Amino acid sequence: MKTLTPQDATAWMAKLSDPKAWQAFLQQSQTAPFNGAGMLPGPLSQDLAVLIEPATLTKLQSDYVQEFSALWQKLASAQPAEVGDKRFSGEAWKANPLHAFNAAAYLLNARFMMAMADSVSAAPKVKQRIRFAIQQTIDAMSPSNFLVTNPEAQKKLVESKGESLAKGIALMLADMGKGRISQTDESAFNVGGNVATTEGAVVFENELFQLIQYKPLTKTVYERPLLLVPPCINKFYIMDLQPANSLVRYAVEQGHTVFLVSWVNPDASLKDATWDDYIENGAIKAIDVVREISGKDQINALGFCVGGTIVATALSVMLARGEKPAASVTLLTTLLDFSDTGVLEVYIDEDQVARREASIGRGGMMPGRDFTAAFSSLRPNDLVWNYVEQSYLKGVEPPAFDLLYWNADATNLPGPMFCYYLRNMYLENNLREPGKLTVAGQAVDLGRIDVPAFLYASKEDHIVPWKAAYESLNLINTKNRKQSRFVLGASGHIAGVINPASKNKRSHWVNTETPADADAWLAGAKEKPGSWWTEWAAFLAENGGKEVSAPRSYGKGKYKPVEAAPGRYVTKKAA
């Protein structure tokens, strides 16, 4: 039996993208049923089998044969197999024993292949990559994804007299023109029209970002302004979708003077921009402008996802320069310690990072479409194959959904900045080490950040695991730990964050204690119904200072309104 190394895993996964292997597999699957060899092209199954203890493999094969025999007996007696999967929950799958058998056989093969992946001799992170690759294959080969094996699509084809197929082909051709799968009716949304509609004005801009100041909705406001820094790998309006689910509007309604960074969607003119540029000319510049406009030495700063990593780095740099610009910091689904990066680890190793550095690390662009494809691959059944089935096989146009419209609105990143982030955060986890990184001329030490922190994570987040987000408590404000708070919300990376208080949906967990260990925190936490936003509002109120009259105009002095919010940077599409 062979032990799998990271290099073996990289080579093995590369085989999954070999067109010849897939062509042979597709030909095989059309002429013969699946068997104990599994669902992957022959050479790939053989490669996997040699990584498993012979006794374990024999047991897996024996169990497989028994279960497959039971399925075959049900088919022979015209009894529909039981299938507990939402992809096969339609009546058409149950009405015909053969269709039910196909679905059940597919699920059996899927379990068999995943059991093989779980049994390989490899380190946990290497095994995770194998599991991910096999899961991608399994999801792609679902009988619901092919017209010849999807009874619901066949029924619709007959009932519509071919119209559903014609419409599906038209939708597929339109998506081929876009270079991506449509997940929503994109014609239903317009940035600045019915998303990103909170009233405000751009009061500053440079080559990296526009700074938006929002109009107050209360007569008085807290004296310290609030600066929101969204992730630069997405557009800011995830925080300002529509009035009912806008985090921006909620903060304004709570009596805060809100500013927001709207990152540019970079083109070739920014191909040489670095991580230092995003810190110095991005976050630090935004902080300075907000302080000048407000006339306050200290602000409250919020960073979302990589925006939180940028904010924490910027604050550390400013503190090293002798400045203390923040009264508090809020980090939403943010990693500062990258020891556990969840399923994204499958895309990050020395070989893959080195290839990116060679191609774009010294100048170039990381295309936004690559981000979209990578994140969709993390939930392929929901974000890829569901739309293949509904749109292409059944001819059903996707419904209008603001969050998915935002998800498809891709952004590029400058190659040098992106490669620095990949290597120093995801690959080498250097940010957590005091003095390991030098940014904007200063040694970065997150321990310098000694202000109250509000940390939020989502319990089912597959991009920023909540326990990894909790580790930020062990890096910032450690001497005054009781000033900081950690709140855990239900759902995932985006839906957990964008959970309006007014809808009273989902739940969140709170614990005033902040032990070093995340499991210890959860053991003492109390679950509360509804949104975490109210917890955050209370934290901001504690750190907002006294109440003063709301500003009557945008900007101040040399910082005059440039254009109305949401500004032109956010409307720029990725090439």
Which active-site residues does the annotation give? 305
CA–CA gap between residue 301 and residue 220 (Å, rounded): 20
User: Could you give the 3-state DSSP secondary structure of residue 191?
Assistant: strand
- Both tokens assigned to 355: 């290839």
Taking the C-alpha atoms of residue 419 and residue 351, their distance in angstroms, rounded to an integer, is 13
In the numeric block, the tokens 């080969």 are attached to 141
The residue type found at 338 is F
Q: Which of 95, 67, 66, 101 is nearest to 81 (CA)?
A: 101
- DSSP secondary structure of 417-475: HHHHHIIIIIIT--TTSTTS-EETTEE--GGG--S-EEEEEETT-SSS-HHHHHGGGGT
Query: What are the contacts of 429-435 at 24+ separation with CB within 8 A?
Result: 429/337, 429/338, 429/339, 431/309, 431/313, 431/336, 431/337, 431/338, 432/336, 432/337, 432/338, 432/339, 432/471, 432/475
Angle separating helix axes 42-49 and 6-15, nearest 10 degrees: 160
Contacts of 370 (CB under 8 A, 6+ apart): none
Asked if 259 contacts 213 with a C-beta cutoff of 8 angstroms, the reply is yes
Nearest-Å Rg of the Cα atoms of the chain is 26
Contacts with 236 (C-beta within 8 Å, 6 or more apart), sequence order: 196, 228, 230, 260, 261, 262, 263, 566, 570
